[in-house]
Structure 1
Amino acid sequence: MKKSLLLLSFVFSVLGLNAQSLAVHEMDTVLEVNSMAMADYGFSIDIKNTSATDADVYVRRAYHEMDCAFDSGYFCWDYCYGSDIDSSIGYINIQPGVVKGDFSGHVYSPTTGNSCLDSTRYVFFNGNDNSDSLSVWVIISAGPTVGTIELSVTEDKVYPNPVVNVLHIETQKSGAFRLFNILGEEVKRTHFVPGHNSVSVADLSNGIYLYSIDGSTLKRVVINH
């Protein structure tokens, strides 16, 4: 099934005058989204350590302009950070020559129907030398007419992410929603009906959880009260 369209153009720049040890190994260049359908859209950036020594790599969101293509966003590195946090608290250790795919960036597309561009920038930097950094621009292009009607009416949608107290599920079929903690223990199970459903997570602790819909592939959601 073809997805709707969200173009992510990446432009790289090296910050600082010292030798750079970080490089982008692989990334998503095209992610499809439709500005008529509210959903969480993600992209990945794989980082490689090109130096001969270990690097403790942090990431921060250095620019986050949200005029129309998306209305909020979050990122995951050592942990998932909500839209109000721009810098990772922890780091990912990358050994010489090793590629890490721990990063994922996420944006929410509002149902505005707009055709427009927004942008955001992430900076990966070596905790042992802050001048050793890599800056990655992400240009986000959204439109209301791309994609297929079939996707808009059949794709299951679970939002928001991160979630505070109530998780919303939009689906065209009946089924079961299961939520697991990071230990793989089922912490919540509910049955849903076609249309809009709500699941309270107010009784659960903050953290990273995994969910599945009718036994589908596990996906990550962050609870942040």
Structure 2
Amino acid sequence: MKSKDAAGNTSPSSNTVSVTTLSGGTVTYCSSSASNTADERIGNVKFGTINNTSTGTAGYENFTSVSTNVTRGSAYTISVTPSWTSTVYSEAYAVYIDYNGDGDFTDSGELAWSKAGSTTTPVTGSITIPATATVGSTRMRVMMKYSSIPTSSCEAYTYGQVEDYTLNIVSSGRGASGSDIKDLITDLRVYPNPVRDVLYISNTTSEEYKIFDMGGKLINSGKLDRGSVNVSGLIKGAYMIQIGEAGKRFIKN
């Protein structure tokens, strides 16, 4: 028989995970992992069109190739099914979403949902995508921890599991179907990225653009000039360009 402490914690980890986004820029997320999945782990996650059943036993699972479209201002059901080897333990949960695409989960509201420890299976809740969320692809982190709610998106603990997914955040403006929205997000191309002077955009059906900083502040807007935007006046950093329903991150050097 195995004994567990009340929190199931180990010391925090300082490791990071670097991810290349669909726009070609690199966003770095902190790591989070459980060190022991022998008795309990995440068995299934449902959110939007995500319905992912996993059998892996690593403390961290990278499912960022699994994605769903979500619309700003809309509510979605999150469902997490725990998997136990034999004994049913009390599990707690946290779901973080990087709503502004800045590479962390520490901004206000980015702890999107949590649930105290229980033996309920599956556990469900509701997550509303903020109307101010940055359009484009971003990260969702699903955490299951023995007994107590994870205290941080970067926490390292003993029992449970962590899984990362991709969300494609879209505007509610045009009412396109899910498949249409996905095509707009994945097909829009911006280059070079990083960029110094002129940013070129292809695979878009609109000439109107908006450029936001990663805090969601509108920096510039206008019409494309033969499929390009002069960004030489921007200070160095990460930005989001939105064209119609689609958005892509880019890095200004």
When the two structures are superposed, what TM-score results if normalisation uses the length of structure 1? 0.39
When the two structures are superposed, what TM-score results if normalisation uses the length of structure 2? 0.36
